[in-house]
Structure 1
């Protein structure tokens, strides 16, 4: 039996936007573009469930001969009796970057495992194939337009339950975020392991196109699963939404919560809804090209209530039409969408962080770019009052931040209860108050008081208005890792307010044996 060479997994570097600072006065500020991860390298199904081919009868196994002892394995989907859709990199020798000869590629349909003695097996040779004109093979990486269509030497028999064609998804854009999907393949069940030859499937969901598609996000679907991932050997395989084919497996990240091909790994699938891809699959060798660009998208504004922010789309290719969305990045709430590039900040926006998202559309598809999040929107300024002899000064808030903890020394694995105290000692209400906690080395949250939102390792509470001469408390529990080494760590606490400034402190903890 020949050794199988699968598509190589690679690192997907998830970028983060730059830090925001509080705007306390009516000064204009410019937001740059949010950092976007590049395209990753290549995939297969970790954490999947064994399938019979009758459950996913469009799935096929591809085998390209590299040498007498080696084969390059991928997946694919049945388009019709004589055509298979797969990834472009599945028909490219990963060592030479040259196309495999057509006669060296075999398609096996109607099977639940490889090798097999199943009577439903249909084996075909490939007589020709088309590679998307935009695809550029690279060593150890991927390129946009990762799709190819194979023509078989003889028609498949589609009358049985084990081999069926699947229709392409319609539309011109991305399925809605959170849409349930199914991925399947014959690839590895453990990162770095050897595929057992069985067919597996995994439920997943459509994610943010900015998570993995870089400037080509119009042509890439980004999907994740809380239980697994595609991995090496699943390249070219299907992503289905309902009973239609929505994507072709192209690449997988290696930085999931459990490492390569693990929980949280972002899987990139070529987006069959984009006309740039769909029209090629349907037969066009000159499909329209979706927009690329947006790396210099920006927004400028006065980031306080009753101010405004205006979005500039930046530079794009292929003459797109623009639309603008303004999004509360802490909650995901859409605040405004349409052709208007400006958004007037309302009093109710105080404390929010807002980004502008640009949609660039043309005949090839719809791409997006997003700015960094704004600083927390400040409350509208209070007009100054002219001083008069004998008149009392305008009341002002005076916030104090403190913290108490159940212990200041703890051993590895211990839990520590912490209470944050926000006291307003002034004679006026503090508005737009936000408190955040960030656990330090070897610490993690185990319990948070209701109302907290978590993002990028921090937990934040939007307290809104803290009245004069009142105190608010917030409770949380952190736990030391069982692998924590002796030393010092701390929980960092920050407070910011639209009219009372900001505060910061830390809750030090000594780790003992």
Structure 2
């Protein structure tokens, strides 16, 4: 089978000293689910059955689930020997019992022979989907509480990682404890935690136990509420079974499995691969890591997930690259290649992980914030900076230094004393073991009138007409403002009555105002009433803006 090189498939089952007669079952020394608990009564899991296979020397055991009165769902490797089917006469199915250390007494216990089976075509073709449906003869009596079928999960509604589930089986529990059914609570992991590149797979793990030989074909059911069959036990990762280990299950909700259960004419084939994903990169914070996919067959869509090796937390999903930050330093990062098609979704995990290490980064990621109280603070990344040199220059940007101060990352710089106006605020970082030196700047508008948000540029010409340019700061951008042009004749420093020209305009960050035609001896003034506004929660008073052009 395709998984022999990577996992232990539960083909070798628990053995018994004698075969099962039609009316009674006597178990010889064997054991059960490691770390599990025994069901209180047959009614706790009335769908759970024992499947015995007579091999001619010693019988083998499997577990299974009753999905209707005449059919049992179990693992295909229970009925095949190296992909060759065993004889129907070698199978016996027992339902309605949890303790078979003594005779099975009807009406609680029922014993049936197998009249036929139907294996998933992917198992006989590639050893992929380890499922078979046994047809028992005669059908079980399901009128009582001890023997009842279980519903199968709806297509596409299977549980995901982190969900609690429960396994029922007749496998090893502990040495010397024999002949009883046990249950084991588990938490689902991502499929690639059990096997990489295997389609239609669920992976579960319990802190206090594991499935073992004899649990093959056992039903994995939802925990809480009415139980629903979500998976069938197919593989374990630890042959000793003596310590907690992950167990693999066939996922019954995938298109590849659900279509077969529904007797569809064709069964879609999901992506599969025998390879592993690979993660490559320098491992330096700030430099990208790349996930390389293996060679997939039967796939049409791809995506990638980058995960924390220790916790399994997904750090990023989508593209094939992930750039770790300073917050990822000392974290192990691995990746998963995920391929999808009409048959389902399959994962291939990387066998390796890369531990992110600190390095000198080009961008120190300085973040400058100004609070409503007019105090300067820094972003979360500043905890790595230690010392910052803060400077505040006047409106020209490169003009007079108004403030110069060395601060630590925990400091807040008080800017409330700065006179009203517009400034350029910069924080410079000298560098340390993680970062190279860096500098971040932003524009600061001190508390004032909105008239401080407008700057007049020198008049010029455009298309033969005189224009005045205004540089406008938020929050005035996008506001509708009416400008008043006053033109008055002046002689010998004295001006006569003015004529007024009103023009409305929507302010942009760089606004052009056309100057009305004026005689050479006329004085030109520009004024506007500006409404109050706020920026970053700081209020600005309304004001009248005036400028004399000549």
TM-score w.r.t. structure 2 length? Answer: 0.56
2:33 match: 45
Q: 1:226 to 1:298 in 2, by over 3 A?
A: closer
Distance 1:316 1:56, change over 3 A: same
Structure 2, unmatched stretches of 5+, are 14-31, 365-384, 388-408, 410-432, 437-550
Determine the structure 2 residue equivalent to 1:147: 131
Superposed, 1:226-245 pairs within 5 Å as 226-242=207-223, 243-245=227-229
Residue 355 (structure 1) aligns with: 334
Separation (CA, whole Å) in 2 of partners of 1:294 and 1:12:
12
Map residues 153-192 of structure 1 onto 2, 5 A cutoff.
153-172=137-156, 175-190=159-174
**How big is the shift at 1:301?**
4.5
Q: How does 1:168-317 map to 2 (within 5 A)?
A: 168-172=152-156, 175-190=159-174, 196-216=178-198, 218-242=199-223, 243-254=227-238, 260-284=240-264, 286-293=266-273, 295=275, 297-301=277-281, 303-317=283-297
SS for the counterpart of 1:126 is: strand
| Whole-angstrom distance in 2 between the partners of 1:159 and 1:228 | 34
Q: State the shift of 1:77 in Å.
A: 0.5
Change (3 A) 1:298 1:130: same
> 1:157 and 1:369, CA in 2 relative to 1: closer, same or farther beyond 3 A?
same
Output the CA distance in 1 between the equivalents of 2:10 and 2:99: 26
Residue 80 of structure 1: which of 64, 68, 71 is its match? 68
Q: Which of 364, 386, 398 is matched with 2:343 structurally?
A: 364
Change over 3 Å in CA distance of 1:144–1:498 after alignment to 2: farther
1:130-159 CA-to-partner distances (Å, cap 9, x unmatched) read: 11222259xxxx943111001122332222
* Residue 108, structure 1, aligned to residue 94, structure 2: yes
8 Å CA contact 1:347–1:380 kept in 2: the answer is no
1:457-506 CA-to-partner distances (Å, cap 9, x unmatched) read xxxxxxxxxx9xxxxxxxxxxxxxxxxxxxxxxxxxxxxx7479xxxxxx
Let me know the Cα RMSD of the aligned residues: 3.5
Tell me: higher relative CO, structure 1 or 2? Use CA pairs within 8 A at least 6 residues apart: 1
Q: Deviations over 1:223-268 (max 9, x none)?
A: 222222222222211111131111112222335xxxx112212222
Query: Which whole-Å CA distance do the structure 2 matches of 1:178 and 1:190 have between them?
Result: 27
What is the DSSP-based 3-state SS (H/G/I as helix, E as strand, rest coil) of the residue aligned with 2:60?
Answer: strand
CA separation of 1:171 and 1:323: change in aligned 2, threshold 3 A: farther
Q: Give the 3 Å change call, closer, same or farther, for CA 123–382 of structure 1 in structure 2.
A: closer
* Separation of aligned partners in 1, 2:313 and 2:35: 32
CA, structure 1 residues 344+294, in 2 after alignment: closer, same or farther (shift >3 Å)? farther
Change (3 A) 1:266 1:154: same
Kindly provide the CA deviation profile for residues 170-198 of structure 1, in whole angstroms up to 9, marking residues without a partner as x.
3448632232111122233226x6x6222
Which of 65, 78, 81 is the matching residue for 1:90?
Answer: 78
Distance in 2, matches of 1:383 and 1:186, equals 60
> Does the 8 Å contact 1:74/1:237 carry over to 2?
yes
User: Which residue of structure 2 lines up, in the alignment, with residue 99 of structure 1?
Assistant: 85
Q: Deviations over 1:428-469 (max 9, x none)?
A: 969xxxxxxxxxxxxxxxxxxxxxxxxxxxxxxxxxxxx9xx
Aligned to 1:131: 119
* Whole-angstrom CA distance in 1 between matches of 2:329 and 2:96: 59
Q: Which runs of 5+ in 1 are unaligned?
A: 1-10, 14-36, 385-427, 431-466, 468-496, 501-513
